[in-house]
Amino acid sequence: MILTYIFETYLDIRQHRALKLPTLPKPLLGVISDEKFKRSRDYRLHRSYFHFVYEAVTILMHTAILYFRVLPWVWKKSGELVKIVGLNAENEIIHTLAFLAGAAIWLQIIGLSFSLYSTFVIEAQHGFNKQTIWLFIRDMVKEIMLSMILGPPIVAAIIYIIQIGGHYVAIYLWGFMFVLAVLMMTIYPIVIAPLFNKFTPLPEGVLKEKIEKLAASLKFPLKKLFVVDGSTRSSHSNAYMYGFFKNKRIVLYDTLIQQCSNEDVIVSVIAHELGHWKLNHTIYFFVAVQLLMFLRFGGYTLARNSKDIFRSFGFNDKPIIIGLIIFQYAIIPLQHLLNFCLNLVSRAFEFQADAFAKNLGYAPQLREALVKLQEENLSTMNTDPWYSAYHYSHPPLVERLQALEVPDNEERQLLEII
């Protein structure tokens, strides 16, 4: 874990040096204004300094938790608390929920200071934050309430499955998490997301007509077009789609509509997103994540009954939730390697989606959209190649603009290689 931190800090230092460069990359000269570059440079450097502090505190906290045997102490105290309130501490589900409640309170306290600084200092100083402290508190309370409603039954189900799963516990766990993932993808945009943002139908007009025409030409089963009030919290902009089978929806941030010069620029962003759908990128990623989750549960089942592993972390018994936490610590290096591989695939998918929009005739508009989003979001202009390759799920702007300029025959060859 510490070696991973050292390696990633080295990459962070390389990226910090790149952020300090006083000039734009050559391909962006004349494309990005000097004023936007300076604002982006200041914003990203501010976030970089913050990141160094956050990661240092995180590694120190995790190291202290392991070295000073905090986990067995909290597990013991949570059991004592369960007895004090008159509940059965021998019931592992009740004991686990008490343990996780204590851990959640601690993490909420630690994370709150960082969240407040990020929102009301960094984002505010650089013109992004639009929410008041009361809106921030309201959102936090809603998140806590959702955790209290959704968390206990999910945790209880996982523990019960592991208790009765026997030799097939990895399959049962994966099946439960698969159903849960599909359920959450279904109810989140309909039930949970509206608790935090207001979704309104896109008004009738040229933009709606062009998006519906594009969707119809690609046989995309568009049911509804929404605008979300992202501007109530931030001036960052985005667009996304969701839904299963014949019930698809597209959501535009109101900030995206405000920032783009004309409807065709916005439609080019939708064309890119439709490219992901047409090329089945979402399905490929979902299948990959499910496969990795199954392998993770399989690895856990190999280690869950090892008394030596639990003793090395200060436990005489083998609580299920502790076994899951220890296993997560153990596979941190492997998890980072897998994330790197997924990022490689994601960047290839982004190039393909850009090429898809280009083949629909939206290359000039998509180029303008990418530049506008880069400027308005004050995204990173200068990137270190090592840092970018390791961390970025999307290619840097320079690479995406260069790919859009590649002639069609060369582009096809490149996509075949990818």
Pairing of strands 222-228, 199-201: antiparallel
Beta bridge mates, 222: 248
Answer whether residue 239 is part of any domain.
yes
Indicate whether 407 pLDDT > 70: no
CA distance 386 to 357: 28
Known binding residue 276? Answer is: yes
Rounded to 10 deg, the angle between the 281-303 and 332-357 helix axes is 170
C-alpha–C-alpha distance, residues 373 and 253, integer Å: 12
pLDDT band of 246, cuts 50, 70, 90: confident
Long-range contacts, stretch 187-194, CB < 8 angstroms, 24+ apart = 189/242, 189/243, 189/249, 189/251, 192/146
What pLDDT is stored for residue 412 in this prediction? 54
On whether residue 220 sits in a domain, the answer given is: yes
Contact 314, 71 (CB under 8 A): yes
pLDDT tens figures, 356-379: 999 999 999 999 888 888 888 888
What pLDDT is stored for residue 220 in this prediction?
87
**Contact present, 213 and 222 (Cβ < 8 Å):** no
Residue 61, amino acid = M
Identify the CATH number of the domain in which residue 227 sits.
3.30.2010.10
Rounded to an integer, the average pLDDT of 386-410 is 84
* Residue 217 tokens, joined: 């030409």
Least-confidence region, from 56-60, 168-172, 227-231: 227-231
User: pLDDT digit string (tens) for 30-43?
Assistant: 888 888 899 999 99
Annotated ligand binding at 350? The verdict is yes
Structural domain for 255, as ranges:
201-259
Does 95 belong to an annotated binding site?
A: no
* Residue 416: predicted pLDDT: 54
- Residue 402 above 80 pLDDT? yes
pLDDT of 418: 47
What crossing angle do the helices spanning 70-84 and 92-117 adopt, rounded to 10°?
Answer: 120
Task: Report percent pLDDT > 70 for the chain.
Answer: 96
Say which range, 68-72, 83-87, 168-172, has the weakest mean pLDDT: 83-87
User: Rounded mean pLDDT of 403-414?
Assistant: 64
For the question of residue 354 being annotated catalytic, the response is: yes
Query: What is the Cα Rg of the chain in Å?
Result: 24
State the pLDDT at residue 196: 83
Distance CA(234)–CA(130), nearest Å, equals 5
Q: What is the pLDDT of residues 174-202, one digit of tens each?
A: 999 999 988 888 888 888 888 888 888 88
- Provide mean pLDDT across the span 254-274: 86
Q: Which of 12-26, 223-237, 337-351 has the lowest mean pLDDT?
A: 223-237
Residue with the two structure tokens 């934050």: 129
Residue 320 lies in a domain: no
- The CA distances from residue 118 to 43, 48, 121, 354, 388, in Å, are 11, 11, 6, 32, 22
Check if the beta carbon of residue 11 is closer than 8 Å to that of residue 391.
Answer: yes
One-letter identity of residue 418 = I
Computed over every residue of the chain, the mean pLDDT equals 88
- Please tell me the total count of domains within the chain: 1
pLDDT score at 156: 94
Alpha helices in 130-200 (DSSP H): 133-164, 169-187
Contact at 8 Å (CB) between 110 and 61?
A: yes
**Segment holding 228, helix H or strand E:** strand 222-228
Asked if 199 and 251 touch (Cβ cutoff 8 Å), the reply is: yes
- From the list 354, 375, 384, 411, the catalytic residue is 354
Q: How far apart are CA 41 and CA 19, in angstroms?
A: 6
pLDDT above 60 for 20: yes
Is residue 237 assigned to a domain?
yes
Please, is 126 exposed, middle or buried when counting C-beta atoms within 10 Å of its C-beta (0-12, 13-18, 19+)? middle
Q: pLDDT-derived band of residue 165, with 50, 70 and 90 as boundaries?
A: confident
- Work out the pLDDT band at 53, boundaries 50, 70, 90: very high
**pLDDT score at 89:** 74
Query: Among positive and negative, which fits the CA dihedral 245, 285, 395, 12?
Result: positive
Longest dimension (CA), the chain: 73
Asked, for residue 229, whether it belongs to a domain, the answer is: yes
Lowest mean pLDDT among 69-83, 122-136, 232-246, 276-290: 232-246
Confidence of residue 233 (pLDDT cuts 50, 70, 90): confident
pTM confidence score: 0.84
Number of other residues whose CB lies within 10 A of the CB of residue 338: 15
3-state class (DSSP) for residue 157: helix
- Catalytic, 273? Answer yes
Q: Which of 92, 123, 264, 273 is catalytic?
A: 273
Is residue 384 assigned to a domain? no
What's the pLDDT score for residue 90? Answer: 83
Query: Degrees (nearest 5) of the Cα angle 400, 406, 412?
Result: 100
SS3 state at 138: helix
Q: List pLDDT tens digits, range 309-335.
A: 889 888 888 899 999 988 888 888 888
